[in-house]
Structure formats: C-alpha cells, structure tokens
Amino acid sequence: MNFLHSVILGIVEGFTEFLPISSTGHLILTSKFLNLTQTNFLKSFEITIQLGAILSVVFLYWRKFFLNKEIIKKVFTAFVPTAIGGVVLYKIFKEFLLNNSNIVLWALFLGGIFLIIFELFYKEKEGSIEDISKISYSQSFFVGVFQIVAIIPGVSRAAATIIGGLILGLKRKAIVEFSFLLAVPTMAAATFFDLFKSAGEFSFSQINFLIIGFITSFIVAIISVKFLLYFIKKHSFTAFGLYRIILALIFWSIIF
C-alpha cells in the first residue's frame, strides 16, 4: 500500500459508508482492483477508516442530537444487539468474510434485487414516525438486530438499518438519521476492538497510511451525508438496488 492507495480507499469509504451499497464491500472490491494483497493490515485499514467517515456524523449532528440524552439512550439500545453479534462473530468476519470477494458480490447482487423488490411493494404506513426523538426503545432495539446482518460484507449496514426501520414504521428521513447516529458507536467499537487485537503488528509507515485514509474518509463522508439527505426527499432506494446489481455483474465479468 502507498499514499495514493490510502487516499483512493478513503474516498471510496467516505462516499459509500452511509449509502445502501456497502462501504466494506466497495473497499474489498477496490483493493482487489488495485491489486492490493489482503493482509491483516489491509483488513484493519478497511475497518479503521470507516471510523473517519462515522466521525463526520459527530461533526454534523453533535448539537442537534448528541446533546439529547433520550436519543443517545435509544442509539445505545440499538447498539446492544450489534455489539453482542459483533463480538461473537468477529473472528469469522475478520478471517473468512472480510477477504471473500465472491461473498461480497453475491451480497451486493442479491441485496440489490431485494432493494428493488422492497421498493416495489413498500407503502408508507399512516402515522409513520418522522421525528427521531419519537422512536421507541423496542424499535431502536430491533433496528440494531437488523444491523447484525450487515456483518456480511456487501450487505450494507446502512441498507440493513434503513430497510429495518422502514419495516418497523419509521419515515425515511427518521431512519436515515437514526442510521447515521447508530453508526457512531457501532464503528467506533469495531475499530477500537480491531486495533486492540492487531495494532501491535503495524509499522510506523502503515500507521501513517491509516491516518491518511481516516482523514480522507472523514472529509468525503460529510459530502455523502448531505447528498443522501437531499436524495431521499424525492427518490426511493431503487437506483441503489440497480447500482448494486450492475456493479456485481461488472466485477464478475472483468475480474473473476
């Protein structure tokens, strides 16, 4: 890995983290495209730079949401099932799922089909919750349960939580914002847990690459968050479903 690789992966992470297209899947495929070897450092890099993107949420929302104790408690309620699932499945994720491009492509492809079918049949319920502060604790918990599915690279944490929230009776803006907030403890825990396990193996130059990717993803993610909030005002997630399918087909035909 070099400086340019760090910047490219940071851009990919920052733009895709909050979209329902799987940032982890994109990082794995981008690394494959750049001919980067899936070392333990690269796997940790792909996890760690996601925290840079997540901190863009803290930067954008700290005054609006992070000073609201009730919202914070609901976010951590959603985090509980994810934390348990993450600890139990960490070894499987790091050693098997995180370097398996075929799993990524199948998850992107099938997830794209699911998104399109979901949007064809989804009808917003009367009385759907549009204010994030009115989300119940039970709804928060089950959004976290949906998020566990995203441990499979290519599924997309954003897609899992957003679709789960819509099923549970939340409006798009409410669940998208809640998904933003839930990403903070989720990715912070994933990053620190992985660094605790692996940081001693990294060289000084590798740590510099981590910092470069981290900062790049933070800056690009701010743009991505604003784009998604603007996009959902007038559009469904069908376009993202089509994108996932096309991306999977392209990689199957060119690389595999």
Tokens representing 127? 């009385």
User: Do 159 and 23 form a contact (C-beta atoms < 8 A)?
Assistant: no
Does position 38 have pLDDT exceeding 80, yes or no? no
Cα–Cα distance for residue pair 73/76, rounded to 1 Å? 5
Stretch 156-185: mean pLDDT: 91
Q: Which range has the worst mean pLDDT, 4-8, 140-144, 196-200? A: 196-200
Confidence of residue 146 (pLDDT cuts 50, 70, 90): very high
User: Do 49 and 5 form a contact (C-beta atoms < 8 A)?
Assistant: no
Residues 6+ apart with CB under 8 A from 173: 130, 229, 232, 233
Cα–Cα distance for residue pair 101/22, rounded to 1 Å? 13
Radius of gyration of the chain (CA): 17
User: Do 159 and 22 form a contact (C-beta atoms < 8 A)?
Assistant: yes
- Give the C-alpha distances (Å, rounded to integers) separating 216 from 12, 38, 55, 144: 9, 21, 12, 28
Of 136, 157, 139, 140, whose CA–CA distance to 148 is shortest?
157
Stretch 20-30: mean pLDDT: 89
Confidence of residue 178 (pLDDT cuts 50, 70, 90): very high
Cα–Cα distance for residue pair 72/102, rounded to 1 Å? 37
- Backbone dihedral angles phi then psi of residue 67, each to the nearest 5 degrees: -100, 0
Confidence of residue 85 (pLDDT cuts 50, 70, 90): confident
Mean pLDDT of the chain: 86
Q: What is the pLDDT of residues 101-139, one digit of tens each?
A: 888 899 999 999 999 999 999 988 878 898 888 999 999
Does position 70 have pLDDT exceeding 70, yes or no? yes
Does position 167 have pLDDT exceeding 80, yes or no? yes
